[in-house]
Amino acid sequence: MKYMRYYETLYLIRPDLEPEEYKSVIQKYNKIIEDNEGIITKVEEWGKRELAYEVEKFKDGFYVLVRFCGDADLPEKLQRDFRIDERVLKFIVIKLKDKVNPEELKGEISDEKSKDEEVKAKDGSK
């Protein structure tokens, strides 16, 4: 059984992008995680929000939160790409847990999805 580290990254995308390009940024970083044998457990698109202060002359941006499992070098690879991608204004990667079993997290992923579906069903029934 291979243990992995559990990470969370939050990144801020420029607000002046077209919706297709915004989606392609998210897909790019999800692909980097998956191509490096990472397992994505959660992707939350928080949408466009106002910033506390200007970042590169922008007053707002699109926030994306991703939780994933991966090897110790995966955050470094992500951060390198975040730095050179002009579409990403800010980012942070945090280690949540040192040793996790990816098999156990797969159960959490399915539980999370069923909770999300319940919430959507309740919202739709109002």
Starting at the edge strand found earlier in the chain, the sheet holding 58-70 runs 39-55, 58-70, 4-13, 88-100
Q: Which of 21, 4, 22 is nearest to 97 (CA)?
A: 4
Domains in the chain (CATH in brackets) are 4-125 (3.30.70.60)
Upper half-sphere CA count for residue 17 (Cβ side, 13 Å): 22
Express each pLDDT in 31-76 by its tens digit.
999 999 999 999 999 999 999 999 999 999 999 999 999 999 999 9
> What predicted TM-score, i.e. pTM, was given to this entire model?
0.80
Question: Greatest CA separation found in the chain?
Answer: 48
> Token digits for 49?
């929000």
Q: Is residue 96 over pLDDT 70?
A: yes
What are the backbone angles phi and psi of residue 3, rounded to the nearest 5°?
-90, 150
Higher model confidence: residue 111 or residue 26? Answer: 26
Q: Which of 70-74, 79-83, 109-113 has the highest mean pLDDT?
A: 79-83
